[in-house]
Amino acid sequence: MRRKYLTQSLSYPIRLPDVVQADALRLLDVSREVINATVSALWDQLDAFGVRETTFAYKQIMVKISSSNPHGDRQWRCEAEQAGRILRAQAARKKRFALILPTLSQDMILLKTEKQAARKDRKAIKAALVDLSEEHTDGGSAVELQSLIEQSCNFYLKHGRFPKTYEEMQAMPVLKVGILPYAGDDGGTVGQAYRLRLDLEQRCCFFTFRSPDEALSWSPTWTEPQMLLPLPDPVIEHLQAGGVLAPTLREIQEADDTRYAVLDFIVEVPVTEPAEWNQTRRVLGWDWGVRTLVTVTVLDLDGNQMAPPLFLDSGGFDGRQAHTKRHIDRIKSKVAKLEAQRDRFPEKDPRREPMMRKLSVLHREIACCWRKYSARNRDLAHLTANVLLLLADVWGVELIAGESLKSLKTTGHGRSARGRWVRWRNNSQIRGVLWRCLRYKCHLTGIRLEWQQPKGTSHTCPRCGKFANTYASPEHLTAVIDSGAWLSCVACGWNGARDYAASVNIARLGIAFIKQYLVTGRISHPCVFETEKVKNSASYIGAGLALRLPPTSPRGRLIESGKMYINGWIKAVTLHSAFPLETLLRLCG
Ligand SMILES: [Zn+2]
């Protein structure tokens, strides 16, 4: 059997020295114009970019048109590469639009009433997403499909009807910050747009690039790379095992409009191959919780729990994000008021000036808040993925099982700003980001990742597999609450946090998945109701432990548990577990 050598590329931005910043930004401005002109010229041929005959996007462009502002063939190739990447991404999005187009219906729009303007009906949108048959995917596209449906609804709110085509709804993309992938050039030694020479002993590289001078004329002469860029430690480490790919020159724009150029240094690293399926011994199941961010359990193939459950709580983080979101909402209402004031005066009236000035400050502040907000979301997704992989490593897990993104949770947490944020968190990009992040990190480390059917996982007893009700807490077993945090099984007496039960059930589904695959050689994802396939789980020291585990809310009840803060996220993210604190520290240290 031929072994495929798997690799993964990782990118590290390095800020260019101040002396070349002006040159680099001038180059990026000029190429941005060419890229935008190219995208614009080919926008009506979008479908052609849905078919990939070659890896390089520039080849697809260059058979169709030539540069709007030629200054060297390789320079044009790099610009065409970027234009081609934009068009390919849009073509892929257009294909997904074709999936959601038949589902668009007026039910998704709530008509205008006396009290409220017309708006989107989230429930109807959710229902449409569930119906979109995605049987054979991990649901990773659910988030993208949702954004397309929402974009179509916004179109409806503006025009009184749904868009007929993708292009009708989607404005032609315009690159606002410069980016120039040198992947179109001939490589570091003979490149005609850039040169790159590595010096691993000195832990640096020598780089140079061709750019227009202040009069925008391009020099034809070429010099050896002189500019020394120190390489970050992880890059050096990776370079010892892998190779270097063509870098990308990219512009960064700060919220206060300062801008600078970075070189994305891209290294290719070998990837660990996953164990053969019949070598799989342990499965990690994780549930995307309502009350805790993530709950984790590990089972062996006989359903024995290898360790107590672990809860990753993002309470402090949620608070901070809610605060930022509230701040954005406040600025937005200020903006609305100022706009109304401004619009009392006709265009070009000097009395509009003071409002315009204030508005531009507020817009900058909003942009700054959003950036902070999404950076935190990204960090949280990375942190969560790292914790899952760390636990998988510690317990010798070969398969990570997680619920598919198709389930969009809405339960819990009320109308407060934080409650709204948590709901949003559960339903939107952050889950998608976590899934993508986890998928690529698993790929790097050779651990398998499989999505599971989420249906019924938080209302099924993990020990006997029967339907079980949920309640507010162990003290409130008289009133069944569908979104309750505590699960109690009448049939066998199992008790435990709902998220914990769900994580065990998801691990059970992972086990059933493996067993089925080993027998039939086919990939299929069983549902927790298929009791003939899904084996029951045994508590790792009997039923006693589950009883000792409190629901994750109220938090004051976590008397038995270890508690720790990780990665400097003091009071932002907490791991809860029945482990003693030292064990956790050892795990994460
Ligand atoms: Zn039971």
3 state SS of 402? strand
Which of 68, 16, 8 has its CA nearest to residue 250?
A: 16
Q: Distance from the CA of 489 to the center of ligand 1, in angstroms?
A: 5
Torsion of CA 96, 97, 99, 102, to 10 degrees: 180
Confidence of residue 332 (pLDDT cuts 50, 70, 90): very high
pLDDT of the residue at 562: 35
Asked if residue 499 lies in contact with residue 287, where contact means CB atoms within 8 angstroms, the answer is yes
Distance 138 CA to ligand 1 centre (A): 29
**pLDDT, averaged across the chain:** 81
Q: Which residues on neighbouring strands pair with residue 268, listed in sequence order? A: 9, 243
**Ligand 1 centroid, distance to 411 Cα (angstroms):** 23
Cβ neighbors of 393 (< 8 A, separation 6 or more) are 445, 447
Measured in Å, residue 467 CA sits from the centre of ligand 1 at 8
pLDDT band at 563 (very low <50, low <70, confident <90, very high): very low
Give 461 Cα–ligand 1 centroid separation in angstroms.
5
492 Cα to the center of ligand 1, angstroms: 4
pLDDT beyond 80 at 442: yes
Least confident interval from 147-156, 247-256, 416-425, 455-464: 416-425
CA of 418 from ligand 1 middle (Å) equals: 34
Cα of 19 vs centre of ligand 1, distance in Å, is 69
pLDDT at 231 over 60: yes
Please say if the pLDDT value at position 424 is more than 70.
no
Report pLDDT for 162. 93
Here the tokens at position 247 are 């870098």
* Residue 558 pLDDT grade (very low, low, confident, very high; cuts 50, 70, 90): very low
Determine the distance separating the centroid of ligand 1 and the alpha carbon of 537, expressed in angstroms. 10
Query: What tokens does 527 get?
Result: 């549902």
pLDDT in tens, 532-554: 778 776 655 433 333 333 333 33
- Summarize pLDDT for 294-321 with one digit per residue, the tens: 889 999 988 888 877 888 877 777 778 7
Between 183 and 542, residue with greater pLDDT: 183
**What percentage of the chain has pLDDT greater than the value 70?**
81
> For residue 103, what are the contacts with CB-CB under 8 A and spacing of at least 6?
128, 131, 132, 149
Residue 83 vs residues 50, 137, 173, 276: alpha-carbon distances, Å: 14, 29, 10, 40
Mean pLDDT of 372-379: 80
Q: How far is the CA of 543 from the centre of ligand 1 (A)?
A: 11
C-alpha 301 – ligand 1 centre gap (Å): 19
- The residue ranking higher by pLDDT, 371 or 540, is 371
Does residue 454 carry a pLDDT above 80?
yes
Between the CA of 490 and the centroid of ligand 1 the distance, in Å, is 7
Neighbours of 350 (CB within 10 A): 7
Distance 487 CA to ligand 1 centre (A): 10
Extract the tokens encoding 145.
Answer: 């499909």
* 471 Cα–ligand 1 center, Å: 15
| The two three-digit tokens of residue 387, written as one number | 């914790």
Instruction: Examine the pLDDT at 583 and tell me if it is beyond 50.
Output: no
Among 277-286, 467-476, 480-489, 559-568, which is the least confidently predicted range? Answer: 559-568
11, amino acid identity: S
Please name the amino acid found at residue 249. L
> Is the per-residue pLDDT at 41 higher than 90?
yes
Q: State how far the Cα of 53 lies from the Cα of 107, in Å rounded to an integer.
A: 40
More confident residue, 498 or 560: 498
* Gap between the Cα atoms of 567 and 120, Å rounded: 39
Residue 306 CA to ligand 1 center (angstroms) comes to 19
Examine the pLDDT at 84 and tell me if it is beyond 90: yes
Report CA Rg, the chain.
27
